[in-house]
Amino acid sequence: MPSPIPINRFLPKGFSSTVTLRPCSSPYQLRGKEQRFSFTGRYKALPHLSWCTVFWDELNLLDLLGSGGFGSVYKGTYYGNIVAVKKVKKSTKNKLASRHSFWAELNVANLRHDNIVKVVAATTSVPEDPEKEDNLGTIIMEYAGDISLHHRIYNCTKTLEVGNCLQFSKDIVSGLSFLHSHNIVHLDLKPANVLISDQGQCKIGDFGCSHKLTKDDLTPNVQVRHLAGTYTHRAPELLKGCNATLKADIYSFAITLWQMMTRDQPFSGDRQCVMYAVVAYNRRPTFSATFKDSSMGQKIEQIIGHCWRAEPNERPNADQILETLIYLQAQHGVPEIE
């Protein structure tokens, strides 16, 4: 019989084991110290939230936005604000992965950035829920928009100009820079996990695969294997089972930027064959004429080429990429999206 999983293994910094044993939890009151949470812009401020209380009478589910292996996401309202509500379910195939997915979402619970989907509250108990036995927890998040970057790339007739690609890339890398400054690696960055707000701003979401790096993770003899995530965007070192580093997200960003520029799928064919080719033969998506026909395209090709290098240490960091993108916008007169 397997040993019990230490509860602290799944808790982000600031969560104690005694706190998580309570019926509900919210990331806006740490160890009894109250914090006021408010959305910016059109959202009104919410009242003080108790650490162990989610006000269920104020939460209303509206439409189902999507569902996957670890749960479903709904559009809803909380204290009159439009929110997204993620209900994480227990996976019958991989209970450990579903638990990790829930707690990994809370790696960003106390972080605030314009390009990161904000967490409003979280709970491990859902009263009067007919699916309670299958529900691992619920996370209330900022509602970041109806459209994902994936939809914008593949299901939108509107042209995706180079200026759009640069602005979207700036938003994504700005979010990554912020995450990486807190030693958080996303590990599943892809167009489907980037939302576009009504103002045209990209926000990184879905942190179910994220990991808070520690000194132990950086020790050569300690392997942190991440089997979750999307194989087409997973860095080759992760495919080999090596340590996860911040540079894994840089590789994923390169694939995402390539998708924005080409509006094509990065790989085709058998999954195992693709993964083997990426690791053993350094296979990458092909640069088409889209990159060759202009000086801007050529420079973006250079950025992508540097970001998806096989050796993580040879890839630039998020701050360096952001500086380059800002320079390209200024040099070529590409206006920011308002």
Give me the amino acid identity at 83: V
Pairing outcome for strands 119-123 and 24-25: antiparallel
Phi/psi at 8 (5° precision): -65, -20
- Give the DSSP H or E segment for 203: strand 202-204
Residue 87, annotated as binding a ligand: yes
| Number of CB atoms found within 10 A of residue 147's CB | 16
Catalytic residue among 171, 188, 206, 249: 188
Decide if 56 contacts 66 (C-beta within 8 A).
no
State the DSSP string of 121-162. Answer: EEES--TT-TTGGGEEEEEEEE---SEEHHHHHHS--S---H
Half-sphere exposure of 140 (CA within 13 A, CB side): 30
Integer Cα distance of 28 and 109 in angstroms: 8
Q: Exposed/middle/buried for 47, CB within 10 Å: 0-12, 13-18, 19+?
A: exposed
Phi/psi at 133 (5° precision): -65, -25
Decide if 177 contacts 120 (C-beta within 8 A).
no
Q: Is 188 a catalytic residue?
A: yes
- Binding-site residue positions for ATP: 87
Catalytic residues: 188
Annotated binding site: 87
